[in-house]
Amino acid sequence: MSVNRDVTVLQEARVSFCGSTAVLLDAEGPLALATQERIWRLSDKARQWEGVVDTQPGMNSLLVVVDSRTADLEALAARLRETWPSVPSGRIAGRLIEVGVVYGGEGGQDLPEVAAFHKCTPADVAKLHAEPEYTIFAPGVSPGFGYLFGLDPRLFTPRRQVPVMRALGGGVSIAGVQSNLGKPYVEGSAKTAPTGWYMIGRAPDVPSPFDFDRTPPNLVSLGDRIRFRVDRVEA
Amino acid sequence: MIEILETPPLNTMQDLGRVGYRGLGLGRGGVMDRLALAAGNALLGNDEGEAGLEFQLFPVRLRFTRETAFAVTGAHCEARLSGRRLPSWWATRAQAGDELVLLSPRKGLRAYLTIAGGFDVPEVLGSRSTHARDSFRRLSRAPSCCRRHLGRPCA
């Protein structure tokens, strides 16, 4: 099986326009920590550029958002192209967060399906998943633990063709080459959401990654690392 | 103050959005129709980015508890102030006790209500836009607010 079959690996970086307010840089080569470190650095750098109002690192990419009333998108694209090759990599010291996980059972109900797909046992999946250290590579679609890099290639699992409804709150999931950790459930919010990911476990004591009463509000940052601990595997 | 007497869900307070937090996974949000919000504010002498109420589901019925200059812009919904028909993209003054009714638009999707001086709702991370999806309470306050009172902060 090749999960990466449809992912284009670029030979050289590509810069393209996203509407009239943003420019996207796609990095060359496959997903890699060294490349992602450069993306984080370029993100910090570009935020200081005149006319730039926001930046968003993606997996192997960087979106630079400008004020459309004053922006010169061509100049910005050129500046990104010129700057990117000289941006250094190098470890950005991130925190290590350990999170206990109950694999399988309620909230991890897709574990048997993932095990069957990889022709192994649920306990094997739990062990393989908890072995590596994961790095927060890019922000997700809401404030949280973002997209995690580090999944063992033996667990690469294509996304579902048809989304399913799954519970929110401390869910541990995998899809494609990535893993994800859900923030704690917020009282009064939606209890479920549609997803193409596989829920393989839940983290009952997951810490909150975001607090509006703090400055800055994020309690985890890009480059922080997460280690999952197998607390239990349920049938 | 404005008292919301009747509203379907998903009508929220929005401004031009919360800029600068994409790196934390926090989307910009903000109005769908920036021109309509800016025009509503311009009609009242507000800054263009002052927050307004974005209505995308109707009917909406609200009451002004004191004299208030306001504008309704965006979608051409049939707007009536205590029974009196208002033109689209128009500003006028409501008296205390006046009721404003907005019906489903025949043209356009979203209508905006702005008031002179803006709504007295605190900013969160530089914006008054409701952010319902993330269900961070402080960003989701407007929908519940809308069903009660606007014009003063509420928890």
Angle at A82 between CA A78 and CA A86, to 5 degrees: 155
- Alpha-carbon distance of B33 to A13, in angstroms, equals 35
Q: Is A55 on the interface with B (CB under 8 A)?
A: yes
Give pLDDT, residue B155: 31
Contact state of B24 with A43 under an 8 Å Cβ cutoff = no
Per-residue pLDDT at B148: 43
Q: For the whole model, what pTM was predicted?
A: 0.84
Touching check for B137 and chain A: CB below 8 Å? yes
Q: How far apart are CA A173 and CA A190, in angstroms?
A: 18
- Percent of chain B's residues with pLDDT above 70: 85
Among chain A residues, CA nearest to B140: A189
- In this complex, do B24 and A218 lie within 8 Å of one another by their Cβ atoms? yes
Q: Whole-number mean pLDDT of chain B?
A: 86
ipTM for the whole complex? 0.84
Supply the pLDDT for residue B140: 45
Residue-wise pLDDT tens digits, A81-139 = 999 999 999 877 789 999 999 999 999 999 999 999 999 999 999 999 999 999 999 99
Do residues A182 and A168 touch, judged by C-beta distance below 8 A?
A: yes
- State yes or no: pLDDT of A184 exceeds 80: yes
B residues 94..123 contacting A (CB < 8 A): none
A contacts of B17 (beta carbons < 8 Å): none
Question: Residue B134: its pLDDT value, please?
Answer: 64
Band of the pLDDT at A13, cuts 50, 70, 90?
very high
Contacts of B133 in chain A (CB under 8 A): 142
In the predicted model, is pLDDT for residue A78 greater than 50?
A: yes
If DSSP states are collapsed to H, E and C, what string results for A42-70? HHHHHCCCCCEEEEEEECCEEEEEECCCC
Task: Find the CB nearest A146 among B19, B25, B138.
Answer: B25
| Residue owning tokens 């994800």 | A180
